[in-house]
């Protein structure tokens, strides 16, 4: 059984306790993990604060920080296959996805390496004589980062990269479900020669680790990716330290297909949008909103594609859909399908938990047209697509916006003016037109409503890890007049 450790203040350490991690493909224990608790959290945060204000990191130039990020990017690229295999083993995400995604993660670190010495202050043309005023951008402070198990090396890169570019230090909490790749990533931080305490990586459970981290008095900002309920706990905890927050909380993303769309292209995008990563993606296109005149044709096309998907062992490069990450996730998906069927939804394909070991669930399509199905409102975080039909553009827009979430959306049409109207009208942080799931380090990523606030990616993300300091300099050599002498 493989054994992993936390990384605190430049050292690899056991947590206050240990637990075992489960291989989703078999349902059996495969690795021994450190369980960080409040004492470990306190040590990690104190190390981050020391590095921020007193250690070598505090004296580095922005260009030197950028060079360390470039070195880290090269190490990620060189170790991508090993990291991919660990992520597949510990989370069930298929190897063909983890391999491609982690190779691209290196580009995120390269992007923020280049940004490190581009974070500029400004000079203010102040309305007072004999005064020069500048704004400096300085690191916001010690950052707590709470990262989920799905796509964790990507979802940590979009936090770690900009925070390091801005000069922050951090404590990263990997999910207790599948933390192996992030704990292994700590070895690359160590090999890249980041000063001790700059990046600390731990794992542990919410009540004993996550809560202690998010409310710690020395934490200035909390960056979280996960579900709304956990986010509410984090926001309540941040009332203790008044830390700012950035929250990326998933969604119930609409995927709109008009009759004039290239249906083969739209179907391929829909399959990728809902069944890739076994549906365990915050931007999963889980609500298909399709024009009624093509609904049956498009649904048949999707059914054929879904039933042709190869479900299998995640370490096999031929596998297209692997297991869900946990037994509780498998149970959640099955229970929500049952509720939806009871409300009138019709199973087009899939829908049944398979026999055998592991946490597998087949690609599933639910026809929910004309019914108030729970599957249209609640996030499955699994390979389940819910389908409704529309007759008019206004109806399609209304259905798209009929959600408490607002992260991503897709629109498939050849009508340019219609596309522009929908880009403007859809209430979501991302609108993909005639494509889906495209991401880049250059483009901001984030949502509205229950999908959270703040953005990851792009220059704006690095600026979010800074705070401004206003510098006033009096340029006159004349003495300041006595304020109590009348003239």
Name the 3-class secondary structure at 197: coil
Spell out the residues 6+ positions from residue 392 whose beta carbon is closer than 8 angstroms to its own: none
Beta strand 346-349 with 384-390: parallel, antiparallel or unpaired? unpaired
Please say whether the beta carbons of 4 and 183 come within 8 A: yes
In angstroms, the Cα distances linking 446 to 30, 190, 408, 412, 428 are: 34, 30, 8, 21, 9
Spell out the residues 6+ positions from residue 328 whose beta carbon is closer than 8 angstroms to its own: none
Q: What is the DSSP letter of 207?
A: I
For residues 358-382, b (16+ Cβ closer than 10 Å) or e, as one string?
Answer: bbbbbbbbbbbbebebbbbeebbbb
User: Is 138 designated active site?
Assistant: no
Query: Among positive and negative, which fits the CA dihedral 278, 279, 284, 285?
Result: positive
In angstroms, the Cα distances linking 378 to 112, 336, 404, 448 are: 35, 8, 10, 16
Q: Supply φ then ψ for residue 278, to 5 degrees.
A: 55, 35
Please say whether the beta carbons of 98 and 280 come within 8 A: no
Largest CA distance in the chain: 92
Q: Which of 85, 248, 291, 456 is catalytic?
A: 248
Which residue stretches of 401-446 are H helix? 416-425
Partners of 352 in beta bridges = none
Report, as residue numbers or ranges, the catalytic residues. Answer: 248
């Amino acid at each position: 059984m493989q054994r992993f450790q936390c990384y605190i203040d430049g050292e690899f350490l056991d947590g206050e306790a240990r637990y075992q991690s489960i291989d989703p493909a078999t349902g059996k224990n495969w690795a021994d993990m450190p369980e960080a608790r409040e004492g470990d959290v306190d040590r990690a945060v104190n190390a981050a604060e020391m590095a921020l204000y007193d250690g070598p990191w505090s004296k580095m130039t922005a260009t030197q920080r950028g060079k360390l990020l470039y070195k880290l990017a090269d190490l990620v690229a060189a170790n991508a296959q090993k990291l991919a295999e660990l992520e597949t083993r510990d989370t069930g995400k298929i190897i063909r996805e983890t391999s491609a995604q982690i190779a691209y993660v290196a580009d995120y670190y390269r992007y923020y390496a280049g940004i490190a010495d581009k974070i500029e202050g400004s000079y203010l043309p102040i309305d007072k004589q004999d005064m020069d005023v500048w704004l400096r951008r300085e690191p916001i402070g010690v950052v707590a980062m709470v990262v989920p198990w799905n796509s964790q090396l990507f979802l940590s890169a979009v936090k770690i990269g900009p925070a390091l570019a801005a000069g922050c230090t951090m404590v990263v909490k990997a999910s207790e479900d599948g933390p192996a790749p992030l704990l292994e990533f700590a070895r690359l931080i160590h090999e890249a020669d980041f000063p001790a305490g700059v990046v600390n990586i731990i794992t542990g459970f919410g009540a004993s680790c996550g809560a202690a981290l998010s409310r710690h008095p020395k934490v200035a900002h909390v960056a979280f990716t996960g579900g709304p309920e956990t986010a509410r706990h984090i926001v309540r905890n941040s009332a203790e330290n008044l830390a700012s927050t950035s929250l990326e909380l998933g969604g119930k993303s609409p995927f709109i297909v008009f009759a004039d769309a290239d249906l083969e292209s739209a179907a391929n995008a829909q399959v990728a949008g809902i069944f890739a990563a076994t549906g365990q993606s915050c931007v999963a296109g889980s609500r298909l909103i399709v024009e009624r005149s093509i609904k049956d044709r498009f649904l048949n096309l999707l059914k054929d594609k879904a039933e042709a998907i190869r479900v299998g062992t995640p370490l096999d490069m031929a596998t297209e859909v692997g297991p869900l990450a946990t037994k509780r996730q498998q149970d959640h998906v099955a229970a929500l399908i049952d509720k939806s069927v009871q409300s009138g939804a019709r199973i087009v394909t899939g829908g049944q938990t398979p026999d055998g070991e592991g946490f597998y669930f087949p690609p599933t399509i639910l026809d929910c047209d004309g019914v108030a199905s729970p599957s249209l409102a609640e996030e499955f975080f699994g390979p389940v697509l819910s389908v409704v039909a529309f007759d008019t553009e206004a109806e399609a827009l209304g259905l798209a916006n009929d959600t408490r979430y607002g992260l991503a959306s897709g629109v498939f049409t050849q009508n340019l003016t219609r596309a522009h109207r929908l880009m403007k009208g859809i209430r979501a942080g991302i609108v993909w037109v005639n494509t889906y799931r495209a991401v880049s380090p250059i483009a901001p990523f984030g949502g509205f409503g229950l999908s959270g606030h703040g953005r990851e990616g792009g220059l704006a993300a690095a600026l979010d890890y800074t705070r401004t300091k206003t510098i006033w300099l009096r340029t006159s050599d004349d003495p300041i007049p006595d304020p109590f002498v009348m003239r």
